[in-house]
């Protein structure tokens, strides 16, 4: 069942129009400001992670993708409330990213708690599937440019993702099957899902992939 539209949704989105890019294709080649690094989160949810990263790294610019309007409005409101000036939001299908970013325009990509698409016929929709990895490689400028940081609570997706990376020629580092139990040091902000799983004592799987 499709979720009900939030009350006053359009008015709330309009109040965030200074950080909501409604025509992202028109920004292709013009996202970076003064040569600053640009990082992308695909599927930002309610915005805890991207707003946390933007606050921790004012020297870096961020773009967050979220296709569900009921959800992206909460992320944008969080950014506005925190008076963040280095994060922007767009709604798009991840398969269209090459229409939005030029090769080499992005420095890094975050994939946090993405849909695991568990059925075999759905695997090609996983955001770490080889066809998506090719898109990411292109928009980060090819071999030696950029990296992917992935976090998930789904072991099947994580195991498959590690294979997708290897099959597609990506190298791996800082791979952990219990991020907080292993006390891996990262500067990564915590997502809403991550905090929930931490409170439940459920392990978080994390990896960094680079060409």
The confidence band for 3, taking pLDDT boundaries of 50, 70 and 90, is low
pTM above 0.85, yes or no: yes
**DSSP state letter for 183:** T
Question: Which H or E run contains 173?
Answer: strand 171-176
- Cβ-in-10-Å burial (0-12, 13-18, 19+) of 127 comes to buried
Secondary structure of the chain: what % helix, strand, coil (to 5)? 35, 20, 45
Per-residue model confidence as pLDDT tens digits over 61-119: 999 999 999 999 999 999 999 999 999 999 999 999 999 999 999 999 999 999 999 99
Per-residue model confidence as pLDDT tens digits over 131-162: 999 999 999 987 678 999 999 999 999 999 99
Of 49-53, 164-168, 176-180, the least confident: 176-180
Residue reference for tokens 């709604």: 91
The confidence band for 1, taking pLDDT boundaries of 50, 70 and 90, is very low
Q: Across residues 171-177, what is the average pLDDT?
A: 96
Give the per-residue SS3 of 5-69: CCCCHHHHHHCCCCCECCCHHHHCCCCCCCCCCEEEEECCCCCHHHHHHHHHCCCCEEEEECCCH
The pair of structure tokens assigned to 73 is 């409005």
Bigger pLDDT: 204 or 181?
A: 204
Per-residue model confidence as pLDDT tens digits over 108-127: 999 999 999 999 999 999 99
CA quadruple 196, 200, 203, 205: dihedral, nearest 10: -10
Active site residue 115: yes
- pLDDT exceeds 80 at position 170: yes
Q: Which residues fall within 8 angstroms of residue 167, CB to CB, at 6 or more apart?
A: 130
Q: Are 145 and 106 in contact (CB under 8 A)?
A: no
Catalytic-labelled residue, pool 23, 34, 61, 115: 115
- Cβ-in-10-Å burial (0-12, 13-18, 19+) of 7 comes to exposed
Closest CA to 42 of 118, 119, 139, 121: 139
């Amino acid at each position: 069942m499709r979720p009900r539209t939030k009350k006053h949704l359009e008015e709330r989105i309009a109040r965030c129009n200074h950080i909501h890019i409604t025509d992202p294709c028109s920004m292709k080649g013009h996202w970076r400001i003064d040569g600053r690094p640009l990082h992308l989160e695909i599927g930002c949810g309610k915005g805890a992670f991207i707003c946390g990263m933007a606050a921790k790294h004012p020297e870096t610019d961020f773009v967050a993708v979220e296709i569900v309007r009921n959800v992206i409005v909460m992320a944008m409101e969080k950014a506005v409330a925190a008076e963040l000036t280095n994060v922007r939001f767009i709604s798009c299908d991840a398969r269209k990213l090459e229409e939005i970013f030029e090769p080499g325009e992005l420095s890094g990509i975050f994939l946090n708690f993405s849909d695991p698409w568990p059925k075999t016929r759905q695997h090609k929709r996983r955001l770490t599937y080889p066809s998506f990895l090719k898109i990411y490689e292109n928009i980060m400028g090819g071999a030696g440019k950029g990296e992917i940081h992935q976090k998930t609570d789904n072991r099947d997706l994580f195991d498959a993702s590690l294979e997708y990376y290897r099959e597609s020629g990506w190298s791996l580092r800082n791979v952990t099957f219990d991020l907080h139990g292993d006390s891996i040091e990262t500067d990564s902000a915590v997502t809403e899902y991550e905090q929930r799983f931490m409170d439940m004592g459920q392990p978080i799987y994390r990896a960094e992939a680079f060409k």
